[in-house]
Structure 1
């Protein structure tokens, strides 16, 4: 859900077999630290996890980020990444290869067969550049870790490679972290629905969310969070049978990014987002537009974002 691949999934490179790694190579990965934004007991950001009655998940730590995998969907229900703006590094993505995580069975991951010979991209959930910081060795390891299939979701090429909205927002967030040496906690994932169109045995998510948290310094240090939602319904419907969606949140237009209340992300995903809904920076009252849920704010440029 970030950078466009140097080749698209329609090309011959998509048909390469996935790289397999050994468990030994992944030992020592600690994942996202809930105390990353503020050391000690102040303002922790816990791992986003589904409620007690949700399907089982597997927590997979990587370098500077964690993936919460839902095996029944073969995709992550959530990812959370630590972004250290003061220690970001530029790492060349050339030569990076997608790989399957040996810690979970292959059939619980969405591998290369879903992306071959079509317009579906391997969309990074944790953006490749976000966790690439620290020592040169740490940064290189984080870069490689983002290419695990557990950190990918099927996204239409037009959606994944759009520079105008979602990717522009991600650029804006990363530039903010780098310019002001800020630390960010970035939670990203798909919004699952029971009637998502099924393609090659995988239900394709129609929507994706992102919640960005940071600390605001005023009279006191406080946690601040902003949430966003983007829709690819019109582009993925043709990959599966259309289903009736009566009584659900109205479909959004493709390529449209919305800033939404953090609590709405929690309700749509069933995730426990800890203190983030209470730290929301979006005003409680927003203008209602046709076909747009109350409280949602359309974002067409970075200046539209309420931080």
Structure 2
């Protein structure tokens, strides 16, 4: 299970096979609807069940039939509620059109209120297992149990490594709500089934992160009886596609088939979903769950190849967003309930939880449920923007302060047996992040402007801006490449505190779409490092220990990460004085700052090339650039630029051995970096010592160079 969502060729191909088998049925139902033969859009037996379920629901809140005359409901609705139970002989086209048809909208006033309650129960499932990170969707189906797909929670181990993140969405003002995170509890209850592709798991009632109670989110009962929906009726889907914030597809989609025979456990529908929507509830217009979404259906050619939206054959090196998705498949809730009723061998505690779920499934009431005494209004709205990964664990912490030369305090956390790294966690208030300081050097060194967009459009925030501000640094993202155009950081060598702790935990930035950020799936099981662009050492300083900590943690956003070969990125693999590696250059620059310059403004980014190779759907940059602005000993503003290639290293990512002599580091003119990146650094080219001396530089062998760097002495400051 790798990546940000769950993608199974086996499941998708099986769904596509079933979709093709149901084509005759789907075409038949569509023709009946178009021609007004309403009694033929579904089987008469299912129409009878549906009509009688509607009748019961209409009658339930009324003390007597006479009350219908005073109720502000259409005449056909009163007719259905007041009549005797519907029989098979009553079913004809006129009856279906007149009596059942209009009832689709009889809850118009309640539709959005019920929907808002139902949506509260839907959570993003976040799983960190075996070094990988995966996302899916799930929803509460009883006060204690959550339902998702088996391929999202394949076993109890996956479940134990997962959390349910509720309220991962924006409020009515466009602000991100405070994520409420609850750990899953498979020891208390865990049941799954591969054939029906469902997993049912207990949720710990105490929040892992957040202030809400689990009961605050209510639940959607799994109604086991048939008749909740007819073919061609609208469906509504609440989901976290590709791990993004909660999204909703309502009404402009329909149930296209309820297959018969050996396929009768599945439902086909046309609503929009994406990978990552696995485990989403599929609702009817009364917000009853009719299916558990488990797979999108791709368009295929005669040979079974997936097709892209422009009709070409899709390859696994392409983004899956390029696939032409033509339909969706879910597991019918009635089939899941039938399976659960036959489940045996559970512990007494698990059996009690299952009994509670089954008892709440036998209902004719409409919509989601809540525990007694709990109001599903969400309480006071709290806003933040963070991507939660769990809590920090430190054993017997001891804080030690060490003064080094009177200049800098270093903090350490000690455990019982060893020095423990504290897990990073970005501060929740994104509005309070100041970002890159353009006056940091006492002279104007602003963020660059993107003036040439040939490499991709910038990723935009909700307010239309493009600068992602963090503590001590800012990032401008390339939406097409899912990597940063530039990460710009202010480094203060004289700051009294520096944070040098932190586990390798990375976070998505909720201010831009998750699909625009390259995350862990591109780094797993290959020699690509999760390379910081703005280094945590450069950003992780402060006037207080707290400031240093939050700045350090901010550098672990995926927006500040880029795929750099491990040999290319790790200075520990180099020899003393060897500047062939990025890490050694960075160390040299910061050492110089401590001795002379004190403050630096550092810009980092990839070189986006037309011939960059694709790895797991991501174009891997073959080179990176760095630019450093500083005040000279004469107190004049200066800036130097560098480019380092990793093309040879990434030519075969499966290789185990690499020769660090096959790439080199060069000092280049800032004007050349501007040409390569499309960025305008607003005058820094004019304070570049390389430009002042007229020294020619090289990129990809274009001209002969005089500035190939072999040691620190070769750098022209």
So what's the TM-score if we normalise by structure 2? 0.37
In structure 2, do the counterparts of structure 1 residues 212 and 203 end up closer, same or farther at CA, with 3 Å as the change threshold? same
Matched, 1:112 2:112: no
Deviation at 1:295, TM superposition (A): 5.0
Q: Give the Å deviation of 1:56.
A: 2.7
Cα offsets for 1:201-249 (capped at 9, x unmatched): 110000000010111253xx42101111100001112259xxxxxxxxx
Matches of residues 43-82 of structure 1 in structure 2 within 5 Å?
43-51=443-451, 53-54=453-454, 55-57=456-458, 58-82=466-490
Indicate the RMSD between aligned Cα atoms, in angstroms: 2.6
Shift of 1:141: 0.8
| Partner Cα separation in structure 1 for residue 683 and residue 646 of structure 2 | 28
Local SS of the residue matching 2:521: helix
State how 1:207-218 maps to structure 2 within 5 Å: 207-218=623-634
Distance in 1 of aligned mates of 2:612 and 2:537:
29
Query: Partner residue of 2:639?
Result: 225
Contact (CA 8 Å) 2:505, 2:556: kept in 1 or not?
yes
Measured after TM superposition, the shift of residue 254 of structure 1 is 3.6
How far residue 94 of structure 1 moved from its aligned partner, in angstroms, is: 3.5
Q: Which structure carries more relative contact order (alpha carbon 8 Å, separation 6+)?
A: 1
Provide the rounded CA distance (Å) in 2 between the counterparts of 1:225 and 1:264.
13
Once residues 697 and 513 of structure 2 are traced to their aligned partners in structure 1, the CA distance between those partners, rounded to angstroms, is: 47
Provide the residue aligned with 1:155 in structure 2: 564
The equivalent residue for 1:143 is: 552
Shift, 1:272, TM fit: 0.3
Deviation at 1:142, TM superposition (A): 1.1
- Assess if the C-alpha contact under 8 Å between 2:473 and 2:487 holds in 1: yes
Distance 2:697 2:511 in 1: 46
Find out whether 1:167 has 2:583 as its counterpart: yes
Residues 290 and 206 from structure 1, CA distance in 2 versus in 1: closer, same or farther, beyond 3 angstroms? closer
CA contact (8 A) 1:17 1:112 kept: no
In 2, are the aligned partners of 1:198 and 1:239 still within 8 Å (CA)? no
Q: Which moved more, 1:123-132 or 1:171-180?
A: 171-180
Corresponding residue to 1:31 among 427, 430, 435? 435
Which structure dedicates a bigger proportion of its chain to helix? 2
Counterparts of 1:238 and 1:111 in 2: how far apart (Å)? Answer: 21
Separation (CA, whole Å) in 1 of partners of 2:699 and 2:549: 44
Alignment of 1:235 with 2:649, yes or no, is: yes
Following superposition, the deviation at residue 290 of structure 1 comes to: 11
Superposed, which structure 2 residues align to 1:1-307 within 5 Å? 14-16=131-133, 20-21=387-388, 24-38=428-442, 43-51=443-451, 53-54=453-454, 55-57=456-458, 58-87=466-495, 89-134=497-542, 135-162=544-571, 163=574, 164-165=578-579, 166-180=582-596, 182-218=598-634, 221-239=635-653, 254-282=662-690, 283-286=693-696, 291=701, 293-295=703-705, 297-307=707-717
Deviation at 1:28, TM superposition (A): 0.5
CA distance in 2, matches of 1:151, 1:173: 20
Is contact 1:110–1:149 with CA below 8 Å preserved after alignment?
Answer: yes
Does the CA contact (< 8 Å) of 1:211 and 1:226 recur in 2?
A: yes
Specify whether residues 296 and 225 from structure 1 end up closer, same or farther in structure 2 by C-alpha distance, changes over 3 A only. Answer: farther
Say whether the 8 Å CA contact 1:257–1:299 is kept in structure 2.
yes
Contact 1:49 1:78 in 2 (8 A): no
Please say if residues 49 and 68 of structure 1, whose CA atoms lie closer than 8 Å, have aligned partners that are also in contact.
no
Change (3 A) 1:88 1:286: farther
| DSSP-derived class of the 1:180 partner | helix
The 1:303/1:103 distance shift into structure 2, 3 A limit, reads same
CA distance change for structure 1 residues 132 and 290 in 2, over 3 Å: closer, same or farther?
closer
Q: Distance in 2 between matches of 1:138 and 1:289?
A: 39
User: Are the counterparts in 2 of residues 31 and 60 from structure 1 also a CA contact under 8 Å?
Assistant: yes
Question: Whose Rg is larger?
Answer: 2
| 8 Å contact kept, 2:536–2:555 | yes
